[in-house]
Structure 1
Amino acid sequence: MEALRPVPPSNHSARTAFVHSGLQTTSHVFVRTDKVKPPLTPLYTGPFRVLERSDKFLTVDVQNVPQRISMDRLKSAYIPPSQQVQVEHAYANRLMSNTGTQVNIAVRNQQVPHWRGALWQIDS
């Protein structure tokens, strides 16, 4: 019994977590909102620009404030290089109806009102 020595413990958490390959190279991401929401509300917000990367977190520019967000809540935003990414919601002031006339609407809480027969087009 005196010759027995303790065995070093095994490291079960040595495996790395799965990270989607798109998150390693993407310039913009969508952020999942983890809260109870009404039906038909978008699950993700964004796209937001990536400022910095680490193993498990990304620093993201959310409304001009850098936030450190876990990769579990992020989704890659695949944006064609020909399109300019406009992070702010420009549709609040420049909406086109189905007749081609410009509609100015005061938007609260970044929600666009949807009524029957309206076709929303973002002018750039």
Structure 2
Amino acid sequence: MNHLRTTAYHPSANDMVERSHRQLKAAIKCHQNNRWTETLPTVLLGIRAAWRDDLKSTCTELVYEEPLRLPDEFLTSKDNAAKFDDAAEFIKDLRHHIQQIRPVNGTHHGEKKNFVFKDLATTEYVFIRHDGPKNGIKMPYDGPYRVISRNKKTFVIDIKKKKVRVTIDRLKPAYIIVDDHSKEDISREIQTSTPNTITKEDQRTRSGRRVCFPDHLQVGYA
């Protein structure tokens, strides 16, 4: 049973929404009307048609690719035709600029690179990581196993006289010490170096007193 801790949701903590709400509230206060629902459409129309110096355009032109027709334009003359031509020319240039933009290949910053031992290219024996379920005393690696063949991504391992292909991400080189002498030579050296019995020697204390121990308690007694 897992206990998940979280904090309560506070809408006022969303800065993107609250910034736009602050702008709406300031614009509604400028109108002398107690019913703000009647003033809200006019305020939204003004925000959408407002000129943005950083974008050199309005929000409506970026969305619909043409300027928004305001109510006063239906009543005034069209003496400012050149002004609308400039806006249309800007939208044309903006559309051409957007068409020239090409997507950039994204990068996965959260992807971790697997560590690969350099000695895997030359080692003869490897350990295989055990990825299945295991108890507390289960060793993390199995082996060592002999390498039959290898490539850049996978190895062919001899596991219980069967050829098993394993990915290189699960392998770790095994460093095995090869004995120069056989077991017979080692046992022969031990027999010749160690005598069958140990000769008795007189043991004396600092005062010169001779100490004797029972024969059955002495090491090497025969």
- Structure 1 length-normalised TM: 0.52
Task: Identify the match of residue 69 of structure 1 among 162, 166, 169.
Answer: 166
How many aligned residue pairs are there?
Answer: 82
SS at match of 1:40: coil
Correspondence 1:78 to 2:189: no
Does structure 1 retain, via aligned residues, the 8 Å contact 2:115–2:169? no
SS at match of 1:50: strand
Cα deviation for residue 17 of structure 1 reads 6.8
**What is the CA–CA distance in structure 1 between the aligned matches of 2:119 and 2:164, rounded to whole Å?**
20
Q: 1:45 to 1:17 in 2, by over 3 A?
A: closer
Task: Identify the match of residue 136 of structure 2 among 39, 42, 49.
Answer: 39
**What is the CA–CA distance in structure 1 between the aligned matches of 2:117 and 2:135, rounded to whole Å?**
29
Cα deviation for residue 19 of structure 1 reads 2.8
Cα deviations by residue, 1:58-114 (Å, 9 ceiling, x for unpaired): 10000000011011111110011227xxxxxxxxxxxxxxxxxxxxxxxxxxxxxxx
- Structure 2 length-normalised TM: 0.31
Give identity over the alignment, percent: 36
Correspondence 1:52 to 2:149: yes
Q: Which has the higher Rg, Structure 1 or Structure 2?
A: 2
Greater share of strand: 1
By relative contact order (CA 8 Å, sep 6+), the higher-ranking structure is 1
Q: Which residue of 1 aligns with 2:122?
A: 25
Cα deviation for residue 22 of structure 1 reads 1.1
Give the aligned CA root-mean-square deviation in angstroms.
2.8
Amino acid at match of 1:73: R
Greater share of helix: 2
